[in-house]
Amino acid sequence: MSFKAPLKDMLFNLKHISNIDALSKLPGFEEYGLETAQMVLEECARFNETVLAPLNASADKAPAVFAEHAVKTSEGFKQAYAQYTEGGWQGLQHPMAYGGQNLPKSVGALCSEILNSANLSFALCPLLTDGAIEALLTAGSTEQKETYLHRLVSGEWSGTMNLTEPQAGSDLSLIRTRAEHASDGTYRVFGTKVFITFGEHDLASNIVHMVLARVAGAPDGVKGISLFLVPKFMPMDNGQLGERNDVYCVSLEHKLGIKASPTAVMQFGDHGGAKAFLVGEENRGLEYMFIMMNAARFGVGIQGVALAERAYQKAVNYAKDRVQSRPVDGSQKSAVAIVHHPDVKRMLMTMRAYTQGSRSLAAHAAAAFDIAHNDPDASRRQAHLEQYEFLVPLVKGFSTEMSQWVSSLGVQVHGGMGFIEETGAAQYYRDAKILTIYEGTTAIQANDLLGRKTLRDGGQFARRLSDIIEETLQELGLQSNEDLQVMHAQLTLSKAHFEQAVRFMLEHAKDAPNVVYAGSVPYLMLTSMVVVGWLYAKSMLVSRAQIERFDDVAFYRAKIKTARFFAEHLLTQTGSALHSIVKGAQSVNALAVEDF
């Protein structure tokens, strides 16, 4: 089955959730109205459907190969990367001053979804480069920006994030990589980094490593971490590449999924020290790295949506082709395609509702980012920045967990054939698992949502969010349509569950932190479901109005029916999540460590 980008649903979200017409009035975005955005998405779809999607399965079967510190990527990747960079796709969202196109994140996120749907392993290289660009834009010196940004934005060079070490997973306070002052005013870095995505490859002519390390005498813990730029090859003043730096890939990991993405073990400084350049100030590295991390976390959430879309498309096509069993209602005497069977429809509707709902969540977050960074009004910028930061753990945590549920159902729709690698459904299931782990596990996203985004401001933004949802509920309550009334009833109940969860967290965070944090992941899921439900409610209102205008009635009717399914089958989970939060901590913490 060939992949087809879901352009119609994407454009729906761009117009009605991201509100591209309003965004195109912001300074810097004047050229990116709906018509231009549609042209960009259509060209993005054409490139990915024809160039990258056909490489997805073959690269999974024949992944990157490591030999003598070098990595040869899967067949076709190098040629595809050349076309990717020639098309300017790496620079979509980056500043024009460095060769980018400065597209709104609302458009760029949809292009990223198409790329990741087409070929998740390939897409990880551009994702990491985006993070390096963001870090340099924020903290890089003028010289660093001039030397590196043009080439990173063009894709001529790629970037990496080097955080994790064998003894330090998510706890970066434990890192041991050290940086020593050198006589030439630079630094020398020594240490080992693991799980480095595209740490070595043959796609770009140079690789720019962003590395966390400690300078001698730095404070203990995270306050003593600095960020360094360590190029694979040293750039020369004439723009050419000079000597090879003392940084080498020493092995590749053998993984469950994303097999075509080389995940490297990197060794710095075995031959005298890797020449490194301090980014920003000493001991502020974690602050700068979080800029990369937050960009990557949103990007990984997009990967979740993308993978779910790919799994859904494959399942739908198989269900329409696979003939098995007569209908339970006796309407036909011979076997029919399994898409006619109620439980297969239930699985497909679940996949569809989660995927389209998560796409709306990402679209809403991306629009908040665009306003936060481009609106002339400072108060609007701040309000939307708070909104975006609140939504990032939802986009990352919920959308990646969702991709596992959806890709698992994709295997189930295929039945026994789904368990056979040749059909392709299993690849999406295998690829999905890592999304809940890298760039911060689901628990880390949940702790961020609870600690930094809910407790820190005393629940102020959470209450504002509830008020915003209430406005939509008031509008929904005026509708006589049965589908909209079903959503109104369930979203009203689920919003109350959210409010009760927030009150519980605020009341018990100080005196019983173990109780509160035992429910952090259920809180993330509850909050995400409520926000997705709210966005579905808004979509229903738009769709109802479009139907009354006789505009693409089949599409908008399907949007309403999908939203109702979400309300009746998925949004109902907020009640059980609330019970886990309020009543479930005792059993979570019941066993002593030695009893496990």
**Sign of the Cα pseudo-torsion (278, 281, 282, 287, in order):** negative
Both tokens of residue 84? Answer: 């990717």
Both tokens of residue 513? Answer: 């932190």
219: left (phi over 0), alpha (psi -120 to 50) or beta: beta
Give the SS3 label for residue 211.
strand
- Based on the residue annotation, tell me whether 439 is a catalytic residue of this protein: yes
Matching residue, tokens 């870095």 = 189
d(CA 406, CA 348): 9
Residue 585 sits at φ, ψ, to 5 deg, of: -65, -35
* Angle 526-528-530 from CA coordinates, rounded to 5°: 70
Residues 6+ apart with CB under 8 A from 521: 397, 442, 443, 446
- Name the catalytic one among 253, 439, 475, 548: 439
**Sign of the Cα pseudo-torsion (463, 468, 469, 470, in order):** positive
Residue 373 is inside which H or E element, if any?
A: helix 342-374
Query: Which alpha helices (H) appear in 442-519, and where do they start and end?
Result: 442-447, 460-477, 482-508, 513-517
Both tokens of residue 269? Answer: 């400084």
Strand partners, 229: 210, 277
Residue type, 522: P
How far is CA 431 from its chain centroid? Answer: 14
d(CA 373, CA 288): 18
Residue of 47, 21, 40 lying closest to 93 (CA atoms): 40
d(CA 507, CA 501): 10
Residues 6+ apart with CB under 8 A from 278: 179, 186, 187, 226, 227, 228, 229
Residues 6+ apart with CB under 8 A from 564: 483, 486, 487, 540
d(CA 285, CA 282): 7
d(CA 33, CA 399): 27
How far is CA 399 from its chain centroid? Answer: 7
d(CA 374, CA 395): 21
Strand partners, 274: 189
Secondary structure of 292-344 as H, E, C letters: HHHHHHHHHHHHHHHHHHHHHHHHHHHHHHCECCCCCCCCCCCCCEHHHCHHH
Both tokens of residue 7? Answer: 């352009």
Residues serving a catalytic function are 439
